[in-house]
Structure 1
Amino acid sequence: MEESPLHLAKRETQWSLRSRPVWAGLLAAGMILGVAGPFGTDEVLRLLPRLLYWCALTVLFYFVGSFSGTFLHAVLERWRMPHWPSVALAGAGAGTAIFALLVGINIALFSVSWEDRSGLVILGANVIGISMIVTAAIVYIKEAMPTASASQEPKPVEILNRLPFDKRGALYALSVSDHYVEVITANGAELVLMRLGDAIKEVGDTEGLQVHRSHWVAQAAIAAARRDGAKAILTLKDGREIPASRTYVPALKEAGVLPTK
């Protein structure tokens, strides 16, 4: 079944809800804002209510922004919009949702009338601008992390986190299907909305080879290999056959998958 933008946004939200580092970061940010008391909250709220206010807002805004930003980015990617413009628009959309929520909360809690339209416009511009910057920074960090070289610990197979639990298992292959990547494991296959290049960055320490512009295979998953003229056919442990184009045959020979003669 194809993964819709709504499905992807729900999955990312569920992952964040289960992530201890995410919760630790949000609560730490809320505590810092609560102590600092920005936007005049130090004048209208005492310390404990102010801490609760900012912790609640930080958590609420993160999940609202994450859900709406992920959804919009997936929609824009499906429309084939270039990567970074789609990130910027997704960040602006998330910021708009957060701004509307912020205005509603302040009206409900503090009876703010917002008669000063210019102040409202400035606040909205600040919230949307910050959201765009934060969204771009998060996407950049996520994309850069798989290529970071500092840690000696085994890199996790991050692509598996995008799959339902019943489909997670030893990674066999990645194959392009329209705008999706079919992630093939020992327990089945699932379509994920992303580029093949980005998916390959999430295979962690799994040893594998790109054998076609539309296919990547884990070496441990190859059960057999045979030549097909100038090309090759790889048979996986589940019986699935993956074509290898002429361009990648030398790499398969170098890896010992195909005979050198």
Structure 2
Amino acid sequence: MEDSPLQLAKREMQLSLRNKPVWVGLFAAGFILGLAGPFGTDQVLRLIPRLIYWTALTIGFYFVGSFIGTFLNRVFAAWNLPFWPSVVIAGAGAGLAIFLILMGINIALFDVPLDCATCHIILGANVVGISIIVTVAIVYIQQSLLQSAPVQEGAGAPAILKRLPLEKRGALVSMSVSDHYVEVVTEKGTELLLMRLTDAMGETGDTQGLQVHRSHWVALDAIKGARREGAKAVLTLTDGREIPASRTYVPSLKEAGVLPR
């Protein structure tokens, strides 16, 4: 049960909206650009309007680019295109969208000559190129974090709970793969974490649970019911959700007493 490209893009947006470092970085970048006044904005805007202009553009373009880039990258992945070419094409698509929005804003606010095709081509190439570079850099950093994510082992409380906000720390219910993230569900809420499912399972501590699918892990205490569907199975959890169990993991469910032998 993987998210659709649109659902994943929305989740990425929600994560960014709740991420304080992202907002700090965006305001800092907007402030620096406002002071520098690139692309001639220092000639047509005073300092305060220029700061507002660049801060608004930075925030808007970040979220537009992130949304479109994530959406396109997931679409290309569904088409089984090579990973890095997909990232580059997604970055170019996001850059093109940003360029069109930028042109619309500049036409509305400034006296932009529409007959200077060379000017628009140069600006578009710069925007698309920067978008590709930023997209590739972000994905590379994410991949590096995935490869270096530490697996914390030990008895007692699940170490993975330390990664969650305080208000969402509770008994583990399930963990599911969502692209590069793991959706951790507890009795107190849901959170997406940038890590691998195998690493997340290594941080469950004394919680008794089973991997029931290549994309799902469930806590045994959270299983309310189970039914067979051919060679596979479907688990009903205490929160009402249903999690599929693939044929590979049915023997483990039988061993745990979840399914009859």
Q: For residues 24-77 of structure 1, give each alpha carbon's deviation from its aligned partner in whole angstroms, at most 9, with x where no partner exists.
A: 110000000001111111111111111011000000101110111111111111
Q: For residues 122-147 of structure 1, give each alpha carbon's deviation from its aligned partner in whole angstroms, at most 9, with x where no partner exists.
A: 11111111101101111111221244
1:98 is matched with which residue?
Answer: 98
1:21 is matched with which residue?
Answer: 21
| Runs of 4+ off more than 3 Å | 146-150, 154-158, 171-176, 179-187, 197-218, 240-245
Is 2:23 aligned against 1:10?
A: no
1:33 partner amino acid: L
Tell me: CA distance 1:48–1:201, structure 2 relative to 1, closer, same or farther (3 Å). Answer: farther
> How far apart, in 1, do the equivalents of 2:211 and 2:114 lie?
60
Q: How many residues align?
A: 221
1:106 partner amino acid: N
2:172 is matched with which residue?
Answer: 170
> How far apart, in 2, do the equivalents of 1:9 and 1:146 lie?
19
Q: How does 1:221-260 map to 2 (within 5 A)?
A: 221=219
1:41 is matched with which residue?
Answer: 41
> Which ranges in structure 1 are unaligned for 5 or more consecutive residues?
224-234, 250-256
1:71 is matched with which residue?
Answer: 71
8 Å contact kept, 1:172–1:217? yes
> Which ranges in structure 2 are unaligned for 5 or more consecutive residues?
153-158, 222-234, 257-261
Report the Cα offset of residue 148 of structure 1: 3.6
> How far apart, in 1, do the equivalents of 2:181 and 2:89 lie?
23
Q: Which moved more, 1:17-26 or 1:27-36?
A: 17-26
8 Å contact kept, 2:175–2:197? no
8 Å contact kept, 1:156–1:203? no
Q: For residues 76-134 of structure 1, give each alpha carbon's deviation from its aligned partner in whole angstroms, at most 9, with x where no partner exists.
A: 11111121111111111100000001111111100202322112111111111110110
8 Å contact kept, 1:146–1:204? no
Q: How large is the RMSD of aligned CA atoms in angstroms? A: 4.5
1:125 is matched with which residue?
Answer: 125
Tell me: CA distance 1:101–1:242, structure 2 relative to 1, closer, same or farther (3 Å). Answer: closer
Q: For residues 229-248 of structure 1, give each alpha carbon's deviation from its aligned partner in whole angstroms, at most 9, with x where no partner exists.
A: xxxxxx9x98x896797xxx
- Identity percentage of aligned residues: 47
Please report the TM-score for the alignment, with normalisation by the length of structure 2.
0.66
Tell me: CA distance 1:185–1:244, structure 2 relative to 1, closer, same or farther (3 Å). Answer: farther
> How far apart, in 1, do the equivalents of 2:161 and 2:181 lie?
19
> How far apart, in 2, do the equivalents of 1:141 and 1:171 lie?
29
